[in-house]
Chains A and B, each alone.
Chain A
Amino acid sequence: MSHHWKIGIIACALLAWPCCANSADAPSGPAPAAAASMQPAEKASPAAMASETSAVKKAETAAKAAADKKVPGAAQESEVKAPAKLATEKAVAQPGSAGNEGSKQAESKKARAEDKQPAAKAAKKQPVKPKRVYVPADVPAQELKAVSVRRSMRDFIRNHARRFIVLRQSEATYAINVPVSYRIEPSKIKAHIVFTNSNALLKGRSQMRLRWNGGVFAQAPLDPSFPDGMIDVTVPLELVTSGQNQFTIDVSQHYLSECEDPGSPELWTMVDMEASYIELEGKMRPVQPTLRSFDNLLSSLDWSDLHVTMVPLSKSPEHLHAGTLLAESLANRAGEQHVIIDSAELGQTVGSTAIGHDLVVFGTYEEAEAMLGPIEPKGGARGHILVRARQNDPGHFLLAVLGKTKQDVVKAASAFAWATLPLSDEATMDVFDVQVPSAMAYSSRHAVQEGREYNFADLGFHTTTLKGLQDAATVTLWLPPDLFAKTHAQVEMRLHFSYGAALRPDSVLNVYHNGQFLRGISLSDPRGLLVRDYRIWIPLHAFRPGLNEFRFESRMRANTGTNCTTGNTDNLLMTLFDDSTFTIPETSHYVAMPDLNYLVNTGYPYLGDLGDTPVIQIPNLKPHMLASAWTLAAKLGQLKGSPIQSLTVSNTDMGATNVIRMDVFSNIDDRIWEAAPVHLGRKGFVNHPSLANPSVLGHDPLTWRKKLNMLLEGSEYESGVEGPRYHSVGIQQSFSLKNQGVMMQFENPRVDNGTMTLLVSDSQEQLVDAIHSLIRLWPQMQDSHGDLLLWGTAIEQGRPDFWSAEVGSHTYHIGSMPFLERITYFAIQYPVFLLIVLFIVFVFMAILTRALLIMYRHQVHPHIEP
């Protein structure tokens, strides 16, 4: 509480006298006008936009003038003098259609631009009524920012999977999706391809083609004499669209003029995706201030991280919760790009520091009044969502999420978080109430539940026709991370597909699961077939927690009879219908912890699936700590694919079962260190799994388990029991951090079967950097495991800079499982336990049977000896 008070006092000190005056002023004047302005957008927007446009122009002029006059730090100056300026603004804003920040700010800038005198002078010119100061104080409007970015092509491949791609056979294609942000007006897009081709190719007939959204824009011969090649080419802008663009590399490769084998091994070209890049030049577009286009603003920015500055107007628990929800929802809207969140305090000069960031402001109407003017939602609405271009940075937006009360702020934030339909083409939305579904456990965008059947259509897949020599389609599903995989628990995939006639017998549909080959389906019937219920069973334990990808790659050939005749490729068709299904086996939610793999892949157990209120605990509510917490919350939301309604941020653990604690390691008390796998800062044994990489020592090929698996052939999946710990090297050492972040997971020392994840660094500043690095490393950490994760805060391009290991020995279980089913669980996890229990029961039953037989004999045949 004292903390809050402190912040409040600082805020009052900064805002000084206008605070009080405004309250007196509130009932009269702007309120009705504001109410009117919040009516349908067509009434409010034109005026607002008009004033905003003029304000922008003038702000630009002012900025230019300032620059011309070489007034160093003009922006800073304006910030420093904000209270005085605001007096001027007030005077200007009063007669206009006040009620929104845009118009006010426009007026303010106008005043500033016109009046190049010092602010004090302006104040003298016109008497000033007391007025609440709004924050952020703005800097002079700037020109739309020019953009020039270059990204390696590897960055556009999911999870940066492979550096080199090899295009084989006579025809081959590789496609990547290149996003072009809606915010950017591209002026030039350049593709730079570095490749090596086979020196056995036939020069005249082998070529590489580059396509952008299907249109060929470049072609180059594949010269066997000069096998190392490079293409630098500009993409015609008419082919480019905002959003996802498909960039395709096609090759035609031949080694003979005729009668060649199209599958000959010397037909290859390798593209270095790391060295190849795409360069984008252009400038920022002004943000379209409608909710409908809001998602576009956030998505398709893969070229760089999405930076958002969040400004809570208060630091009440409700505000922090609202901030968490907003962070998650922004991240979800941002797709797969990294979302880095900064935070600014009320009164902090965010206007300048957050240039180039999007701004999210949230609080009550009262708190926002100073910034946005008085807001009176229509018809008893409890909350309000507003979006507009930032006045001084029109390439970025300002999002305001407001409520009548603190609880209404959470409601408005929830409304923003859960609204997925582009319902409003307006800049504002009134929120009356929110009904968040009660059964939220294990829900996600493509989430599946145990014991259920799902059509591909349910998972967002639509009937797709695969064409040509090779094509592919992808289905993804999100599997709850804590499903207990029994031995025979198998996911059944039933495919419904058809394929064309006259395909060559070696035509196949290859099915991949998370990149691993799963099954080849022959498409060999020359008459073509409609196949229903083609079944494939995949053991549940082969699934990755969270997102799983199934890729269907067709490899079709025309049945021409010989290699010398050109095949008819028009009939190379195969349709995968969206009524194909997945059936998830019935099982329980029950897992052994700790395992950072769950957190890294799904965010478990902080997804609110366990009926609890997970908390991200930070040492204080300073902006950089809040920023770290919300950045992590955003990542968790992104992992789940939907907002985590119950997740919140606090400076206490709130009595939660599952806590993520971020702190400087010196602040952590002994009780927590005792539970943690490693006690930082103190001398102790640390188990190093072969110093850095746990797989260096490999597995003992002669373990009984290995031998059995070899004997039993088909048992390709291990039972999930961790490998022997004697690979670890115990070193008694002190453990300190420098430029590193550490994440540890262990049982919450305060709550049984609760999970605490500890993220620590040397200092709070270091911690913020560590979190940002962690977010950027996250996609590469899918195979992390164990209870300890270390990462460097300085990331070297192309090199993973993290280590994970299991160094602790304490395990616990979370989830729910019927008591009897736990026997199955423990039997699988601990076969010795099963044997012991079983043989005890055997002996007990034998003794009991013996006693009963004797009893029976005494009762029924008393004269005959047993």
Chain B
Amino acid sequence: MFGRLLHTIKRHMPFFIWAPGAALLVYIAGVDLYLSEQLILAVMCVLVMVICWWRYVHTLDNHYTLRLSRLLLMVIAGFMAVRYIIWRFEYSIPWYEDTLSVTCALTLLFAECLAVALYFSGAFVNLHPLRREPQPIDLKDPNLPTVDVFVPTYNEDPELLRTTLLAATDMIYPRDKLRVYLLDDGGTQAKCEQPGKKGEQARLRRKELQDLCFEVGCFYLTRKDNRDAKAGNIDAALARTDGEFIVIFDADHIPTNDFLKNTIGTLLADEKKAFVQTPHFVINQDPFEKNLRADREFPNEAEMFYTMNLRGMDNWNAGFFCGSGAVMRRKALEDVGGMLTDTIVEDAETSIELARRGWKAAYLHQPMLCGLNSESTEAYVHQRQRWGTGMTQLLWEKNPLFVRGLNIAQRVCYMNCILFWLFSIARIIFIVSPLLALLGGITLFAAPPIEILLYMVPYLIGLGLVINMLYGRVRWLFVSEIYETLTAVFLVKNVIKTLLFPKHEPFIVTPKGEVLEYDKLSYLAPRFYVLIGLQFIAMGAGYYQLSTDPTTLNSVTFSMGWNLYNMIFTLAALGVLIERRQVRARPRVPIHEMGKVKFGEQFMPCEIIDMTEDGALLKLPGWMGRLDAKEGQLEFAQSHIASDELSLTRVLDNLSRVGFKVVSVRTQKDKKKEHLLVSVKFDYEDETQRLAVISYVYGNSSRWREMLKSRNKHSRIMQGMVFVTRAAYLGLVHIAMAFKGLHHVLLAFKLLLQRKKAPKAVQEGKA
């Protein structure tokens, strides 16, 4: 018994050393100071935090996470957060106001606690992210394990699937050990047996996909019914396959050639590793970027999760399977009974279960697949609703705080993932609170505004600096507020509903590859019209209060300031809801590599500006005059495939050629030189040529790495503010467009009324 205790103490020794210090800090955070002393403390802390932040952010090796300035900033910011929350608990709740005020104040406090909990768990997760390197493998080793690649599909476009399947089959791995399966849930027996048009469509789809598989060289699998959606689909395939490792790709996730080469080694090195997850790299703009006209100004929203969180969780051995882009050990999957199906986030649920049973996981931060963001705001919102609902379900089904077998770090990491989705509740509370204060006369704080500011401002500054330091490369301060504001409005209902009634929710597939031919106002906008309207009225009410009762100056000004802040982000979110036209289902990938172009018999060098499997934009340097050719041939080198690995792929030649038809030609002036820009559309002779193009465009992981790197620049806080202002302006444009639309509707309605009121004779005459 004593020995066991000693062992426990020894095992947790770091914690026993660290905990008293943390306890002391928490205690000091509760010290009740006079306002002047609090101001000095706040100013000093903010000053030191800014210096730490500056030193860390402006150093060349700011990836190094153990820099003292980074840790010092986190400690001080944590201290200020704890101090703020203690102050809120002890001195700012208006206990003696009316019941409604107390309820609202406590609700606000709950939201703040949630935010602080998320902040702390996030900081813990990202304290020391792991940077794994691929483990090399001998591709000629006859003992390499067999790999089954699963591409589950439900209703995706076959052409989208073709690209994915071709890329999957083209991964560098011994041919005899690699099998690619298309798991079709759109052509299940149950679907095909549906009466009428639906059944017919399902049968047609099944036939089409079977043909596609035959052409591509992979296996078609389907099942009796659609039970348990994607998880059920994978489980069904597991029973019918026998590969030692399983790779899962979503239908739009195109892997690079070196996917298996880079991942399998990690699993082979440790038998307790259940899976290796890789990041989901997306090449298209999400609706925010697209609609706010941010041309890759800031990193994609998902990059924070893949660049920071997963690496952080990997450090604490809290692996997270993201549903796609992972290599899994069949044995581990079978140990937990395949993909779990109690929630609609089978990936997260399975991850927790694997960790609970002692399986390890690894995250390899090398972009080796290329996916698509949802193009429309509606699709984006649907996707977030599904994730939010599913993660909230986990609180009931597999709450990391209570399930057995996880260590403390794993519990914190998984809870952080779940808590993230409760942000919608907090966000809505933050938006509604000043409205209640201004419109309903609710008292939210039992403290003078100056005291609120003295405690709140340093906390918020600390929060902002830490967020910027941790996620500055992958997420912009303030810009993320727009994401959250928009999502929260739609997500909150799902989250609360799931919290109250955690029943099984249907799995809704996120539409990908959508096309929009013209700009339009999203149908999601009305909720924001109401919100903006209320915020405007609240500002009016505040102004009225100020003009009639000057004694409320401080509290009303505080509420109005808060409301104005919310208004800016609500307007910015409204700006996102102007859906911009989208003409390409899959965007062109920037290439900027040299190739050769052949018009007639003459080859000449060209620069491949960008390219997809459908076509490319070519730059002919120094070309003067006209281009009369209507077709040609493009030659490009598969430089990312080593010559000795070529035999392991299905690409025939390192130097690939594909024929094209010229779509358009224009000249470009660059440094006093004129170039010809030629837009071409590929004209494939066979699948081999298509495969070569796919391999060239999507098969090169270094390309994704470079793209990622080019976007990975530390954000400036001012940039974020400027962007938000621009977005808020677009929100005003949205309102103007809506009024214009309303004007049209009213005009039509007026005309209708006039028509009804017009004398019969006139009507007849017109007729």
CB atoms of B71 and A846 under 8 A apart: yes
Beyond A834-B31, A834-B41, A835-B41, is A845–B75 a contact (Cβ under 8 Å)? yes
Encode contact with A along B92-122: 1 for CB under 8 Å, 0 otherwise: 0000100000000000000000000000000
Q: Which residues of B contact A705 (CB under 8 A)?
A: 36
The answer to whether A855 and B14 have CB atoms under 8 Å apart is yes
With CB as the reference atom, state the residue of chain A lying closest to B39: A708
With A708-B39, A857-B128 known as contacts, the answer to whether A488 contacts B90 (CB < 8 A) is yes
A853 and B127: CB pair below 8 A?
A: yes
Q: A850 CA to B71 CA in the complex, in Å?
A: 7
Query: Are B36 and A487 interface neighbours, CB within 8 A?
Result: no
- Assembled-state Cα–Cα distance A839/B47 (Å): 12
Q: How far is the CB of A783 from chain B (nearest CB, A)?
A: 22
| B646 close to chain A: CB less than 8 A | no
Closest Cβ of chain A: how far from B311's Cβ, in Å?
11
Residues of B within 8 A of A717 (CB): 34
When C-beta atoms are compared, the residue in chain A nearest to B132 turns out to be A864
Contact partner of A842 (CB less than 8 A), chosen from B39, B79, B132, B448, is: B79
CB of B24 within 8 A of chain A?
yes
Fill in one digit per residue for B1-44: 1 if any A CB lies within 8 Å of its CB, else 0: 00000000000001001100110110110011111110111001
The residue of chain B having its C-beta at the shortest distance from the C-beta of A708 within the complex is B36
In the bound complex, do residue B66 and residue A866 qualify as a contact, i.e. CB atoms below 8 Å apart? Answer: yes
For window 676-732 of chain A, which residues contact chain B by CB distance below 8 Å? Answer: 705, 708-709, 711-715, 717, 719
- Chain A residues with CB under 8 A of B451: 714
- Distance, CA A243 to CA B257, complexed state (A): 108
Chain A residue at smallest Cβ distance from B44: A835
Contact between B33 and A535, CB atoms less than 8 A apart: no
Output the least CB separation between B319 and chain A (Å). 13
Q: Flag whether B700 is at the interface (Cβ < 8 A).
A: no
Contact in complex: A712, B68 (CB < 8 Å): no
Chain A window 847-866, contacts with chain B (Cβ cutoff 8 Å), 1 for yes, 0 for no? 11110111111001100111
Please tell me if the beta carbons of A841 and B28 are within 8 angstroms of each other in the complex: yes
Given contacts A487-B32, A719-B36, contact A852 B18 (CB under 8 A): yes
CB of B66 within 8 A of CB of A715, answer no
By the criterion CB–CB under 8 Å, are A864 and B130 in contact?
yes
Q: Is the CB of A846 within 8 A of B34?
A: no
Q: For B450, what are the chain A residues with a Cβ–Cβ distance below 8 Å?
A: 712-714
Measured CA separation A322–B416 after assembly (Å) = 72
B227 within 8 A of A: no
Chain A residues closer than 8 Å to B317, beta-carbon distance: 860
Selected contact of A845 from candidates B22, B39, B454, CB within 8 Å: B22
Question: A14 contacts the other chain (Cβ, under 8 Å)?
Answer: no
A705 to B317, CA, bound (A): 51
A841 and B25: CB pair below 8 A? Answer: yes
Chain A neighbourhood of B96, CB < 8 A:
533, 535
B37–A827 CB distance below 8 A: yes
Main secondary structure of the interface of B (DSSP, over half): helix
Determine if A517 is an interface residue (Cβ-Cβ < 8 Å).
no
Residues of A within 8 A of B48 (CB): 839, 842
Chain B nearest CB, measured from A209 CB (Å): 41
A175 interface residue (CB < 8 Å to B): no
Kindly provide the distance from the CB of A24 to the nearest chain B CB, expressed in whole angstroms.
Answer: 74
Q: A849-B71, A853-B128 are in contact. Are A823 and B27 (CB under 8 A)?
A: yes
Supposing A850-B68, A855-B14 touch, asked if A712 and B36 sit within 8 A by C-beta, the answer is: yes
B75 touches A487 (CB 8 A): no
Q: Given B14, B17, B44, B90, which contacts A856 in the complex, CB threshold below 8 Å?
A: B14
User: How far in angstroms is the closest Cβ of chain B from A143?
Assistant: 65
List the A residue with the shortest CB-CB distance to B71.
A846
With A487-B32, A535-B96, A845-B22 known to touch, is A854 a contact of B66 (CB < 8 Å)?
A: yes
Q: A834-B41, A841-B21, A842-B72 are in contact. Are A866 and B31 (CB under 8 A)?
A: no
- Tell me the bound Cα distance from A854 to B315 in angstroms: 11
Within 8 A of A (CB), among B127-141: 127-128, 130-132
Least CB distance, B305 to chain A, in whole angstroms: 21
Query: Are B315 and A857 in contact, with the CB atoms below 8 A?
Result: yes
Q: How far is the CB of B114 from chain A (nearest CB, A)?
A: 24
Q: Judge whether A57 is part of the interface by a CB distance below 8 angstroms.
A: no
Q: Note all chain A residues with C-beta closer than 8 A to B18.
A: 845, 848-849, 852
Q: Nearest Cβ distance between residue B695 and chain A, in whole angstroms? A: 31
Chain A hits for B662, CB < 8 A: none
B76 within 8 A of A: yes
Q: Are B25 and A845 in contact (CB under 8 A)?
A: yes
Q: A708-B39, A843-B72, A850-B66 are in contact. Are A487 and B33 (CB under 8 A)?
A: yes
Q: Which residues of A contact B448 (CB under 8 A)?
A: 713-714
B749 contacts the other chain (CB 8 A):
no
A237 at the interface (CB under 8 A from B): no
Interface residues contributed by chain B, number (CB under 8 Å): 43
How many contacts A-B (CB < 8 Å)? 128
- Give the residues in chain A near B79, CB-CB below 8 Å: 838, 842
The yes or no answer to B91 lying at the interface (CB within 8 A) is yes
Beyond A845-B25, A848-B21, whether A823 also contacts B31 by CB under 8 A is yes
Complex contact B128–A846 (CB within 8 A): no
Give the number of residues in A that approach B within 8 Å (Cβ atoms). 48
- Set of chain B residues within 8 Å of A225, measured between Cβ atoms: none
User: By the criterion CB–CB under 8 Å, are B66 and A820 in contact?
Assistant: no
B35, B41, B315: the one contacting A715 at CB < 8 Å is B35
Q: B152 to nearest A CB, angstroms?
A: 32
B132 proximity list for chain A (CB < 8 A): 864
Give A485-532 interface residues, CB cut-off 8 Å to B: 486-489
A794-837 near B? 1/0 per residue, CB < 8 Å: 00000000000000000000000000100110011001001101
Write the nearest CB–CB distance from B457 to chain A, whole angstroms.
Answer: 13
For the complex formed, measure the closest distance between the CB of B44 and the CB atoms of chain A, giving whole angstroms: 6
Residues of A contacting B39 in the complex (Cβ-Cβ under 8 angstroms): 708, 711-712
Task: Find A828's partner among B34, B76, B131 (CB 8 Å cutoff).
Answer: B34
Identify the closest chain B residue to A837 (Cβ). Answer: B28
Q: Judging by beta carbons under 8 Å apart, are A841 and B71 in contact?
A: no
Distance to closest chain A CB from B360 (angstroms): 10
For residue A844, CB closer than 8 A to chain B, the reply is: yes
A196 to B44, CA, bound (A): 59
Is B32 in contact with A824, judged by CB distance below 8 angstroms? yes
CB distance from B727 to the nearest CB of A (A): 34
Whole-angstrom CA separation of A173 from B400 in the bound complex: 74
Nearest opposing residue in chain A for B30, CB measure: A824
**Contact of A864 with B131 in the complex, beta carbons under 8 Å:** yes
Tell me the smallest distance from the CB of A793 to a CB of chain B, in Å: 42
Known contacts being A841-B21, A845-B22, is A828 close to B33, with CB within 8 Å?
A: yes
Interface string of B495-537 (1 = CB under 8 A from A): 0000000000000000000000000000000000000000000
Expressed in whole angstroms, the Cα–Cα distance for A839 and B91 within the complex equals 25
Residue of A nearest to B23 (CB): A820
User: Which residue of B has the minimal Cβ distance to A713?
Assistant: B450
**B446 nearest in chain A by CB position:** A537
Which residues of A sit under 8 angstroms from B44, Cβ to Cβ? Answer: 835, 839
CB within 8 Å for A488 and B21 given contacts A827-B31, A838-B28: no
A700 to chain B, nearest CB (A): 15
Rounded to whole Å, the gap between the CB of B332 and the closest CB of chain A is 19
Contacts of A838 in B (CB 8 A): 28, 41, 79
CA distance A857 to B128 in the complex (A): 9
Q: In the assembly, what is the distance between CA of A848 and CA of B33, in Å?
A: 27
Q: Given that A714-B448, A839-B48, A855-B14 are known contacts, is A866 also in contact with B128, CB under 8 Å in the complex?
A: yes
A848 to B20, CA, bound (A): 11
Complex Cα distance, B75 from A852, in Å, reads 14
Pairs A–B under 8 Å by Cβ, sample size 25: A487-B35, A708-B36, A709-B36, A714-B450, A715-B34, A823-B27, A827-B31, A828-B31, A828-B33, A831-B40, A834-B28, A834-B31, A834-B33, A834-B41, A835-B44, A841-B21, A841-B24, A841-B28, A842-B48, A842-B79, A843-B72, A849-B127, A850-B68, A857-B315, A864-B132
Q: Which 6 A-B pairs have the closest CB atoms?
A: A708-B36, A846-B71, A846-B72, A852-B14, A712-B35, A831-B37
- 6 other A-B residue contacts (CB within 8 Å) besides A827-B28, A864-B130, A864-B132: A709-B35, A824-B32, A835-B40, A835-B41, A846-B74, A861-B130
